[in-house]
Amino acid sequence: MAYSQATFAGGCFWCIEAAFNTLHGVIKATSGYTGGEIKNPNYDSICSGQTGHAEVVQVTFDPTIINYQELLSIFFTLHDATQLNRQGNDIGTQYRSAIFYHDHNQQKLAQSYIDELSTDAVFDAPIVTTINALETFYPAEDYHQGYYQRNTEQGYCAMVISPKFNKFKAKFKNKLKPLQ
């Protein structure tokens, strides 16, 4: 069985990772960093806004169960693609909206999807999501992996992530892994 990968940046990676990890067909979603100038970045360095990296989630998925277009659709419901270098109160280039494609087909599908959203005026403002070739993906520190699931009562998780995550689960209940 050949799995595929997709990499998305849409603000804080805790929410994006939590959502993708609940989807049937997703083998794993890993929080990490990409799109910057330094090798082996860490959370403190990317939070400085000086490395150029974005907080991303790399999704390993079974394309016979869930395809890239479905992942794109879900990605655009998980964040506000019209906010430049921010998501809500999280501000900085590390919180930008971006798709990091793994091959030419993903690049074409991502551009086509953004064009369709723009033509259909799905958002009230222009989409600022960039489409970039994935160069190097750096997994985030272990404490970031599965952070939301382990810390649902933590302030940021309870106030910011839980409402978005619950809305996501209600909207995509037919796409969730069994027993979720």
- State the average pLDDT over residues 52-76: 97
Active site residues: 12
Q: What is the mean pLDDT of residues 102-124?
A: 97
- Closest listed residue to residue 47, CA positions, set 13, 75, 24, 18: 13
pLDDT band at 60 (very low <50, low <70, confident <90, very high): very high
Say which range, 86-95, 99-108, 110-119, has the weakest mean pLDDT. 86-95
Angle separating helix axes 68-78 and 162-171, nearest 10 degrees: 140
Average pLDDT (162-168) is: 90
Which class for 137: exposed (0-12), middle (13-18), buried (19 or more C-beta within 10 A)? middle
DSSP H or E stretch at residue 19: helix 13-21
Closest CA to 109 of 6, 19, 32: 6
Domain 4-175 class in CATH: alpha beta
Number of neighbours of residue 69 by Cβ within 10 angstroms: 12
Digit-coded pLDDT (tens) for 93-105: 999 999 999 999 9
CA-nearest of 137, 6, 133 to 59 is: 6
Give the pLDDT confidence score for residue 123 in this predicted structure. Answer: 94
- Structural domain boundaries in the chain: 4-175
pTM of the predicted model, to two decimals? 0.95
Torsion angle, CA of 152/123/83/165, rounded to 10 degrees? Answer: 10
pLDDT one-digit tens code per residue, 23-36? 999 999 999 999 99
Q: Is the dihedral of CA 45, 49, 50, 56 positive or negative?
A: positive
Structural tokens at position 150: 């382990």
For the chain, give the percent of residues with pLDDT over 90. Answer: 87
pLDDT of residue 89: 87
